[in-house]
Protein backbone atom coordinates (compact mmCIF):
# COMPACT_ATOMS: atom_id res chain seq x y z
CA UNK A 1 0.00 0.00 0.00
CA UNK A 2 1.48 3.34 -1.03
CA UNK A 3 1.96 5.95 1.66
CA UNK A 4 -0.31 8.91 0.98
CA UNK A 5 1.34 12.27 0.38
CA UNK A 6 4.94 11.03 0.01
CA UNK A 7 7.25 12.52 -2.61
CA UNK A 8 9.88 10.28 -4.19
CA UNK A 9 13.55 11.25 -4.25
CA UNK A 10 15.83 11.10 -7.30
CA UNK A 11 15.46 7.96 -9.39
CA UNK A 12 19.16 7.01 -9.14
CA UNK A 13 19.55 7.34 -5.35
CA UNK A 14 17.75 6.95 -2.08
CA UNK A 15 16.85 10.18 -0.33
CA UNK A 16 16.17 11.58 3.13
CA UNK A 17 14.40 14.86 3.82
CA UNK A 18 12.08 16.60 6.23
CA UNK A 19 8.78 17.87 4.89
CA UNK A 20 7.15 21.08 6.10
CA UNK A 21 4.39 18.89 7.60
CA UNK A 22 6.90 17.62 10.17
CA UNK A 23 7.51 14.22 8.59
CA UNK A 24 10.99 12.76 8.19
CA UNK A 25 10.81 10.84 4.92
CA UNK A 26 13.19 8.16 3.65
CA UNK A 27 12.66 6.97 0.07
CA UNK A 28 14.63 3.93 -1.11
CA UNK A 29 15.54 3.82 -4.77
CA UNK A 30 14.50 0.98 -7.07
CA UNK A 31 17.01 -1.74 -7.79
CA UNK A 32 18.64 -1.55 -4.37
CA UNK A 33 18.83 -4.00 -1.51
CA UNK A 34 18.23 -1.65 1.38
CA UNK A 35 19.23 -2.14 5.00
CA UNK A 36 18.04 1.13 6.45
CA UNK A 37 18.35 2.06 10.12
CA UNK A 38 16.85 5.25 11.53
CA UNK A 39 17.77 6.13 15.10
CA UNK A 40 16.46 9.01 17.18
CA UNK A 41 19.18 10.56 19.36
CA UNK A 42 17.17 13.31 21.06
CA UNK A 43 18.14 16.32 18.94
CA UNK A 44 18.53 14.54 15.62
CA UNK A 45 18.08 11.36 13.63
CA UNK A 46 20.87 9.26 12.14
CA UNK A 47 20.16 7.27 8.98
CA UNK A 48 22.33 4.50 7.57
CA UNK A 49 21.73 2.24 4.57
CA UNK A 50 24.91 0.40 3.49
CA UNK A 51 23.28 -0.88 0.31
CA UNK A 52 22.32 2.57 -0.95
CA UNK A 53 23.66 5.96 -1.89
CA UNK A 54 21.61 8.46 0.11
CA UNK A 55 20.96 11.97 -1.14
CA UNK A 56 20.24 14.32 1.80
CA UNK A 57 17.42 16.78 1.28
CA UNK A 58 15.81 19.51 3.35
CA UNK A 59 16.83 19.30 7.02
CA UNK A 60 19.39 16.52 6.44
CA UNK A 61 23.16 16.50 5.88
CA UNK A 62 26.02 14.07 5.46
CA UNK A 63 27.32 11.32 3.24
CA UNK A 64 27.08 7.63 4.09
CA UNK A 65 25.64 8.33 7.52
CA UNK A 66 22.94 10.98 7.21
CA UNK A 67 22.00 13.29 10.08
CA UNK A 68 18.58 14.98 10.10
CA UNK A 69 17.39 17.57 12.59
CA UNK A 70 14.65 16.42 14.98
CA UNK A 71 13.30 19.95 15.42
CA UNK A 72 9.61 20.00 14.50
CA UNK A 73 9.53 16.33 13.44
CA UNK A 74 6.37 14.51 14.53
CA UNK A 75 6.40 11.41 12.31
CA UNK A 76 8.63 9.21 10.17
CA UNK A 77 7.82 7.68 6.78
CA UNK A 78 9.87 4.98 5.06
CA UNK A 79 9.27 3.63 1.55
CA UNK A 80 11.46 0.61 0.73
CA UNK A 81 10.49 0.23 -2.93
CA UNK A 82 11.44 -3.13 -4.55
CA UNK A 83 13.94 -5.78 -3.47
CA UNK A 84 14.47 -7.83 -0.34
CA UNK A 85 14.96 -5.01 2.14
CA UNK A 86 15.06 -4.33 5.85
CA UNK A 87 14.08 -1.30 7.90
CA UNK A 88 14.76 -0.70 11.59
CA UNK A 89 13.30 2.46 13.10
CA UNK A 90 14.34 3.28 16.67
CA UNK A 91 12.07 6.19 17.47
CA UNK A 92 9.19 7.23 19.75
CA UNK A 93 7.49 9.04 16.86
CA UNK A 94 4.63 7.70 14.76
CA UNK A 95 6.15 5.73 11.91
CA UNK A 96 4.79 4.63 8.53
CA UNK A 97 6.60 1.93 6.57
CA UNK A 98 5.71 0.83 3.02
CA UNK A 99 7.58 -2.39 2.29
CA UNK A 100 6.90 -2.45 -1.44
CA UNK A 101 7.76 -5.56 -3.44
CA UNK A 102 10.14 -8.18 -2.13
CA UNK A 103 10.73 -10.11 1.07
CA UNK A 104 11.26 -7.53 3.80
CA UNK A 105 12.22 -7.38 7.47
CA UNK A 106 10.62 -4.40 9.22
CA UNK A 107 10.88 -3.35 12.87
CA UNK A 108 9.48 -0.16 14.39
CA UNK A 109 9.89 1.68 17.68
CA UNK A 110 7.67 2.91 20.48
CA UNK A 111 5.34 5.17 18.49
CA UNK A 112 1.90 4.25 17.17
CA UNK A 113 3.08 2.84 13.88
CA UNK A 114 1.54 1.62 10.61
CA UNK A 115 3.28 -1.00 8.48
CA UNK A 116 2.31 -2.08 4.95
CA UNK A 117 4.72 -4.94 4.20
CA UNK A 118 3.77 -5.70 0.59
CA UNK A 119 3.22 -9.00 -1.22
CA UNK A 120 6.45 -10.84 -0.36
CA UNK A 121 7.39 -13.09 2.55
CA UNK A 122 7.85 -10.53 5.29
CA UNK A 123 8.85 -10.34 8.93
CA UNK A 124 7.28 -7.46 10.85
CA UNK A 125 7.87 -6.55 14.49
CA UNK A 126 6.33 -3.48 16.09
CA UNK A 127 7.34 -1.96 19.41
CA UNK A 128 5.35 -0.16 22.07
CA UNK A 129 2.41 1.95 20.96
CA UNK A 130 -0.88 1.16 19.26
CA UNK A 131 0.33 -0.26 15.96
CA UNK A 132 -1.29 -1.46 12.73
CA UNK A 133 0.05 -4.03 10.26
CA UNK A 134 -1.69 -4.63 6.91
CA UNK A 135 -0.47 -7.88 5.37
CA UNK A 136 -1.20 -8.72 1.74
CA UNK A 137 -0.56 -11.99 -0.12
CA UNK A 138 2.61 -13.42 1.37
CA UNK A 139 3.51 -15.81 4.16
CA UNK A 140 4.22 -13.17 6.77
CA UNK A 141 5.40 -13.31 10.36
CA UNK A 142 3.83 -10.53 12.40
CA UNK A 143 4.88 -9.78 15.97
CA UNK A 144 2.86 -7.03 17.61
CA UNK A 145 4.61 -5.50 20.59
CA UNK A 146 3.17 -3.81 23.64
CA UNK A 147 0.08 -1.68 23.11
CA UNK A 148 -3.36 -2.16 21.62
CA UNK A 149 -2.36 -3.37 18.17
CA UNK A 150 -4.22 -4.61 15.12
CA UNK A 151 -3.42 -6.51 11.96
CA UNK A 152 -5.22 -7.45 8.77
CA UNK A 153 -3.78 -10.87 7.85
CA UNK A 154 -3.41 -11.31 4.10
CA UNK A 155 -4.27 -14.30 1.93
CA UNK A 156 -0.98 -16.05 2.64
CA UNK A 157 -0.13 -18.29 5.57
CA UNK A 158 0.63 -15.73 8.25
CA UNK A 159 1.92 -16.22 11.77
CA UNK A 160 0.33 -13.56 13.99
CA UNK A 161 1.45 -12.90 17.55
CA UNK A 162 0.28 -10.23 19.94
CA UNK A 163 1.93 -8.83 23.02
CA UNK A 164 0.99 -6.91 26.16
CA UNK A 165 -2.24 -5.02 25.50
CA UNK A 166 -5.48 -5.76 23.68
CA UNK A 167 -4.57 -6.91 20.17
CA UNK A 168 -6.90 -7.93 17.36
CA UNK A 169 -6.85 -9.77 14.07
CA UNK A 170 -9.16 -8.22 11.51
CA UNK A 171 -10.74 -10.40 8.82
CA UNK A 172 -13.75 -8.09 8.38
CA UNK A 173 -13.02 -7.44 4.69
CA UNK A 174 -13.55 -11.13 3.84
CA UNK A 175 -16.69 -12.37 2.11
CA UNK A 176 -15.90 -16.08 2.43
CA UNK A 177 -16.11 -18.13 5.59
CA UNK A 178 -13.31 -17.53 8.10
CA UNK A 179 -12.16 -19.94 10.80
CA UNK A 180 -10.06 -18.67 13.70
CA UNK A 181 -9.11 -20.53 16.86
CA UNK A 182 -6.82 -18.76 19.30
CA UNK A 183 -4.93 -21.96 20.12
CA UNK A 184 -1.40 -21.33 18.73
CA UNK A 185 -2.06 -23.75 15.87
CA UNK A 186 -2.43 -23.25 12.13
CA UNK A 187 -5.62 -23.58 10.13
CA UNK A 188 -6.91 -20.03 10.62
CA UNK A 189 -8.24 -17.72 7.95
CA UNK A 190 -10.28 -18.24 4.81
CA UNK A 191 -9.46 -21.93 4.57
CA UNK A 192 -11.45 -22.60 1.36
CA UNK A 193 -8.90 -20.37 -0.40
CA UNK A 194 -6.04 -22.43 1.03
CA UNK A 195 -5.18 -19.92 3.73
CA UNK A 196 -3.66 -21.34 6.90
CA UNK A 197 -2.75 -18.59 9.34
CA UNK A 198 -1.70 -19.15 12.93
CA UNK A 199 -3.37 -16.52 15.10
CA UNK A 200 -1.81 -17.01 18.52
CA UNK A 201 -3.51 -16.92 21.89
CA UNK A 202 -1.97 -13.54 22.77
CA UNK A 203 -4.37 -12.01 20.24
CA UNK A 204 -7.42 -11.04 22.27
CA UNK A 205 -9.94 -9.89 19.66
CA UNK A 206 -11.12 -11.17 16.28
CA UNK A 207 -13.31 -9.49 13.65
CA UNK A 208 -14.75 -11.34 10.65
CA UNK A 209 -16.78 -10.43 7.57
CA UNK A 210 -19.94 -11.65 5.89
CA UNK A 211 -19.21 -15.35 5.41
CA UNK A 212 -20.22 -18.28 7.59
CA UNK A 213 -17.53 -17.92 10.22
CA UNK A 214 -16.34 -20.00 13.16
CA UNK A 215 -14.28 -18.26 15.84
CA UNK A 216 -13.05 -19.76 19.11
CA UNK A 217 -11.40 -17.74 21.83
CA UNK A 218 -8.69 -18.55 24.34
CA UNK A 219 -8.41 -18.64 28.12
CA UNK A 220 -8.02 -14.84 28.09
CA UNK A 221 -10.79 -12.24 27.90
CA UNK A 222 -11.74 -12.12 24.21
CA UNK A 223 -13.81 -9.83 22.02
CA UNK A 224 -15.23 -11.62 18.98
CA UNK A 225 -17.36 -9.80 16.41
CA UNK A 226 -18.68 -11.46 13.26
CA UNK A 227 -20.48 -9.87 10.35
CA UNK A 228 -23.49 -11.22 8.49
CA UNK A 229 -23.70 -14.96 7.90
CA UNK A 230 -24.42 -18.09 9.91
CA UNK A 231 -21.64 -17.86 12.46
CA UNK A 232 -20.44 -19.79 15.50
CA UNK A 233 -18.71 -17.84 18.27
CA UNK A 234 -17.07 -19.62 21.21
CA UNK A 235 -15.74 -17.50 24.04
CA UNK A 236 -13.55 -19.90 25.99
CA UNK A 237 -12.41 -18.76 29.43
CA UNK A 238 -12.51 -15.39 31.22
CA UNK A 239 -14.85 -12.43 30.55
CA UNK A 240 -15.68 -12.56 26.84
CA UNK A 241 -17.77 -10.35 24.60
CA UNK A 242 -19.38 -12.05 21.59
CA UNK A 243 -21.30 -10.07 18.97
CA UNK A 244 -22.88 -11.61 15.88
CA UNK A 245 -24.37 -9.93 12.82
CA UNK A 246 -27.41 -10.97 10.79
CA UNK A 247 -27.84 -14.69 10.24
CA UNK A 248 -28.55 -17.87 12.16
CA UNK A 249 -25.79 -17.62 14.74
CA UNK A 250 -24.67 -19.67 17.75
CA UNK A 251 -22.90 -17.88 20.59
CA UNK A 252 -21.30 -19.87 23.42
CA UNK A 253 -19.87 -17.80 26.23
CA UNK A 254 -17.85 -20.51 27.95
CA UNK A 255 -16.57 -19.99 31.48
CA UNK A 256 -16.43 -16.46 32.85
CA UNK A 257 -18.88 -13.58 33.09
CA UNK A 258 -19.65 -13.02 29.42
CA UNK A 259 -21.66 -10.61 27.26
CA UNK A 260 -23.41 -12.02 24.20
CA UNK A 261 -25.16 -9.89 21.55
CA UNK A 262 -27.37 -11.15 18.74
CA UNK A 263 -28.77 -9.44 15.65
CA UNK A 264 -31.32 -10.41 13.00
CA UNK A 265 -31.94 -14.11 12.45
CA UNK A 266 -32.70 -17.24 14.45
CA UNK A 267 -29.91 -17.22 17.02
CA UNK A 268 -28.88 -19.40 19.95
CA UNK A 269 -27.14 -17.68 22.86
CA UNK A 270 -25.62 -19.83 25.61
CA UNK A 271 -23.99 -18.17 28.58
CA UNK A 272 -22.54 -21.38 30.04
CA UNK A 273 -20.68 -21.04 33.36
CA UNK A 274 -20.51 -17.61 34.97
CA UNK A 275 -22.79 -14.61 35.45
CA UNK A 276 -23.62 -13.80 31.85
CA UNK A 277 -25.57 -11.08 30.04
CA UNK A 278 -27.38 -12.10 26.85
CA UNK A 279 -28.71 -9.22 24.75
CA UNK A 280 -31.27 -9.29 21.94
CA UNK A 281 -31.16 -6.36 19.51
CA UNK A 282 -32.62 -7.98 16.40
CA UNK A 283 -36.07 -6.34 16.34
CA UNK A 284 -37.20 -8.79 13.63
CA UNK A 285 -38.91 -12.14 13.28
CA UNK A 286 -36.63 -15.02 14.27
CA UNK A 287 -36.71 -17.90 16.73
CA UNK A 288 -34.02 -17.14 19.28
CA UNK A 289 -32.99 -19.36 22.19
CA UNK A 290 -31.43 -17.91 25.35
CA UNK A 291 -29.79 -20.25 27.85
CA UNK A 292 -27.92 -18.87 30.82
CA UNK A 293 -26.13 -21.93 32.14
CA UNK A 294 -24.75 -21.90 35.67
CA UNK A 295 -24.44 -18.60 37.49
CA UNK A 296 -26.83 -15.65 37.69
CA UNK A 297 -27.65 -14.70 34.10
CA UNK A 298 -29.58 -11.88 32.44
CA UNK A 299 -31.42 -11.57 29.13
CA UNK A 300 -31.99 -8.05 27.84
CA UNK A 301 -34.57 -7.34 25.13
CA UNK A 302 -33.70 -3.93 23.66
CA UNK A 303 -34.49 -4.34 19.97
CA UNK A 304 -38.19 -5.11 20.46
CA UNK A 305 -41.17 -3.38 22.02
CA UNK A 306 -44.12 -5.02 23.77
CA UNK A 307 -42.11 -8.05 24.83
CA UNK A 308 -43.46 -11.10 26.65
CA UNK A 309 -41.06 -13.32 28.60
CA UNK A 310 -42.04 -16.32 30.71
CA UNK A 311 -39.24 -18.33 32.27
CA UNK A 312 -40.74 -21.77 31.60
CA UNK A 313 -38.57 -23.42 28.88
CA UNK A 314 -41.33 -22.93 26.32
CA UNK A 315 -40.90 -21.08 23.01
CA UNK A 316 -43.50 -18.43 23.85
CA UNK A 317 -41.29 -15.39 24.37
CA UNK A 318 -40.46 -12.36 22.27
CA UNK A 319 -42.23 -9.39 20.79
CA UNK A 320 -45.95 -9.15 20.12
CA UNK A 321 -46.89 -11.13 17.01
CA UNK A 322 -43.76 -13.30 17.12
CA UNK A 323 -43.77 -15.22 20.38
CA UNK A 324 -41.30 -17.86 19.17
CA UNK A 325 -38.24 -17.13 21.31
CA UNK A 326 -37.36 -19.37 24.22
CA UNK A 327 -35.80 -17.87 27.34
CA UNK A 328 -34.79 -20.86 29.46
CA UNK A 329 -35.31 -21.23 33.19
CA UNK A 330 -31.55 -21.09 33.76
CA UNK A 331 -31.89 -17.37 33.05
CA UNK A 332 -32.58 -15.57 36.32
CA UNK A 333 -32.87 -11.90 35.33
CA UNK A 334 -34.68 -10.06 32.54
CA UNK A 335 -34.41 -6.45 31.38
CA UNK A 336 -36.66 -4.85 28.76
CA UNK A 337 -36.73 -1.52 26.96
CA UNK A 338 -39.52 0.82 25.90
CA UNK A 339 -42.93 -0.75 25.32
CA UNK A 340 -45.65 -2.50 27.28
CA UNK A 341 -43.82 -5.60 28.45
CA UNK A 342 -44.88 -8.65 30.45
CA UNK A 343 -42.31 -10.70 32.35
CA UNK A 344 -43.06 -13.75 34.51
CA UNK A 345 -40.44 -15.43 36.67
CA UNK A 346 -39.59 -18.96 37.68
CA UNK A 347 -39.12 -20.70 41.00
CA UNK A 348 -35.62 -19.19 41.26
CA UNK A 349 -34.81 -15.72 42.57
CA UNK A 350 -35.36 -13.31 39.70
CA UNK A 351 -34.53 -9.65 39.06
CA UNK A 352 -36.69 -7.89 36.47
CA UNK A 353 -36.22 -4.35 35.16
CA UNK A 354 -38.56 -2.80 32.63
CA UNK A 355 -38.04 0.41 30.71
CA UNK A 356 -40.54 3.04 29.70
CA UNK A 357 -44.05 1.68 29.15
CA UNK A 358 -46.94 0.12 31.04
CA UNK A 359 -45.32 -3.12 32.13
CA UNK A 360 -46.40 -6.17 34.10
CA UNK A 361 -43.75 -7.93 36.19
CA UNK A 362 -44.50 -11.08 38.17
CA UNK A 363 -41.76 -12.52 40.34
CA UNK A 364 -42.74 -16.12 40.99
CA UNK A 365 -41.70 -18.28 43.92
CA UNK A 366 -38.20 -17.00 44.70
CA UNK A 367 -36.92 -13.87 46.42
CA UNK A 368 -37.29 -11.43 43.56
CA UNK A 369 -36.41 -7.86 42.64
CA UNK A 370 -38.88 -5.94 40.47
CA UNK A 371 -38.18 -2.48 39.01
CA UNK A 372 -40.98 -0.91 37.00
CA UNK A 373 -39.07 2.21 35.94
CA UNK A 374 -41.31 4.68 34.06
CA UNK A 375 -44.94 4.02 33.16
CA UNK A 376 -48.12 2.72 34.80
CA UNK A 377 -46.78 -0.66 35.87
CA UNK A 378 -48.24 -3.69 37.61
CA UNK A 379 -45.78 -5.45 39.90
CA UNK A 380 -46.53 -8.76 41.63
CA UNK A 381 -44.02 -10.12 44.10
CA UNK A 382 -45.77 -13.49 44.54
CA UNK A 383 -44.10 -15.90 46.98
CA UNK A 384 -40.73 -15.14 48.52
CA UNK A 385 -39.05 -12.17 50.17
CA UNK A 386 -39.24 -9.58 47.40
CA UNK A 387 -37.88 -6.09 46.76
CA UNK A 388 -40.24 -4.02 44.62
CA UNK A 389 -39.67 -0.54 43.17
CA UNK A 390 -42.46 1.14 41.25
CA UNK A 391 -40.54 4.02 39.68
CA UNK A 392 -42.15 6.95 37.88
CA UNK A 393 -45.82 6.55 37.01
CA UNK A 394 -48.98 5.49 38.83
CA UNK A 395 -48.19 1.87 39.66
CA UNK A 396 -50.11 -1.04 41.14
CA UNK A 397 -48.04 -3.20 43.49
CA UNK A 398 -49.10 -6.49 45.06
CA UNK A 399 -46.79 -7.78 47.81
CA UNK A 400 -49.36 -9.70 49.90
CA UNK A 401 -47.86 -13.19 50.21
CA UNK A 402 -47.10 -13.69 53.97
CA UNK A 403 -43.40 -12.91 53.35
CA UNK A 404 -41.58 -9.79 54.55
CA UNK A 405 -41.29 -7.75 51.36
CA UNK A 406 -39.76 -4.30 50.83
CA UNK A 407 -41.77 -1.87 48.68
CA UNK A 408 -40.68 1.52 47.30
CA UNK A 409 -43.22 3.38 45.20
CA UNK A 410 -41.50 6.38 43.62
CA UNK A 411 -43.29 9.37 42.10
CA UNK A 412 -47.01 9.60 41.19
CA UNK A 413 -49.91 8.09 43.14
CA UNK A 414 -49.31 4.37 43.63
CA UNK A 415 -51.47 1.57 45.01
CA UNK A 416 -50.04 -1.17 47.23
CA UNK A 417 -51.77 -4.37 48.32
CA UNK A 418 -49.57 -5.52 51.20
CA UNK A 419 -49.58 -7.57 54.39
CA UNK A 420 -48.39 -6.70 57.90
CA UNK A 421 -44.88 -8.08 57.40
CA UNK A 422 -44.04 -5.77 54.52
CA UNK A 423 -41.96 -2.60 54.76
CA UNK A 424 -43.58 0.11 52.66
CA UNK A 425 -41.96 3.52 52.11
CA UNK A 426 -43.73 6.83 52.75
CA UNK A 427 -44.21 7.59 49.02
CA UNK A 428 -46.82 4.82 48.67
CA UNK A 429 -50.14 6.66 48.80
CA UNK A 430 -52.88 4.01 48.50
CA UNK A 431 -52.40 1.12 50.93
CA UNK A 432 -54.72 -1.87 51.26
Q: What average pLDDT score do residues 303-315 get?
A: 94
Q: How far is CA 123 from the centre of its chain?
A: 27
Q: How far is CA 307 from CA 250, 262, 282, 322, in A?
A: 22, 16, 13, 9
Going from N- to C-terminal start, the domains of the chain cover 336-431
- The predicted-structure confidence for 382-412, as pLDDT tens digits, reads as follows 999 999 999 999 999 999 888 999 999 988 8
Q: Report which listed range, 76-80, 133-137, 363-367, is most confident.
A: 76-80
Confidence class for position 1, pLDDT limits 50, 70, 90: very low
Confidence of residue 192 (pLDDT cuts 50, 70, 90): confident
Per-residue exposure over 80-116, b if at least 16 CB sit within 10 Å of its own CB, e if not:
bbbbbbbbbbbbebbbbbbbbebbbbbbbbbbbbbbb
Query: Across the strands, what pairs with 326?
Result: 289
Q: How many residues does the chain have?
A: 432
pLDDT number for residue 304: 83
Give this prediction's pTM: 0.92
Q: Is the pLDDT of residue 4 over 90?
A: no
CB count in 10 Å sphere of residue 119? 18
The model's pLDDT over 264-279, given as tens digits with 9 standing for 90+, comes to 999 999 999 999 999 9
* pLDDT above 70 (res 3): no
Strand 205-208 with 223-225, pairing: parallel
Cβ atoms of 301 and 282 within 8 Å: the answer is no
Q: How far apart are CA 172 and CA 194, in angstroms?
A: 18
pLDDT category at 5 given cuts 50, 70, 90 is very low
Q: Give the pLDDT band of residue 137 (cuts 50, 70, 90).
A: confident
CA angle 315, 317, 322 (to 5 degrees): 95
- Residue 286 predicted with pLDDT over 80: no
Q: List pLDDT tens digits, range 168-185.
A: 999 999 999 999 999 999
Cβ atoms 38, 78 nearer than 8 A: yes
Query: What is the predicted pLDDT for the residue at 284?
Result: 66
Spatial separation of the C-alpha atoms in residues 364 and 172, rounded to whole Å: 44
Predicted pLDDT of residue 283: 64
Amino acid sequence: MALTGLVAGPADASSAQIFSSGSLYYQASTGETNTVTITYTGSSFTITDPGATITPGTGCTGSGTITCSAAGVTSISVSLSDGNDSALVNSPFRTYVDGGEGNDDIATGSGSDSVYPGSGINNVATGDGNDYVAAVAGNDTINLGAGNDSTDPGLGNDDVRGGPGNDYANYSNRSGGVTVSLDNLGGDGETLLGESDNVHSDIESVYTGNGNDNVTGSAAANYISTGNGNDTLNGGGDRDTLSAGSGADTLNGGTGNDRLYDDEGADTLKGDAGDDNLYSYDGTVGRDIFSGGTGVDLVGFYGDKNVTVTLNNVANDGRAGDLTDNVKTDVEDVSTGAGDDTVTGSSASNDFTSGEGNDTLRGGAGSDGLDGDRGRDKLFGDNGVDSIYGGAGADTIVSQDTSADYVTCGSSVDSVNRDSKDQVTFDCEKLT
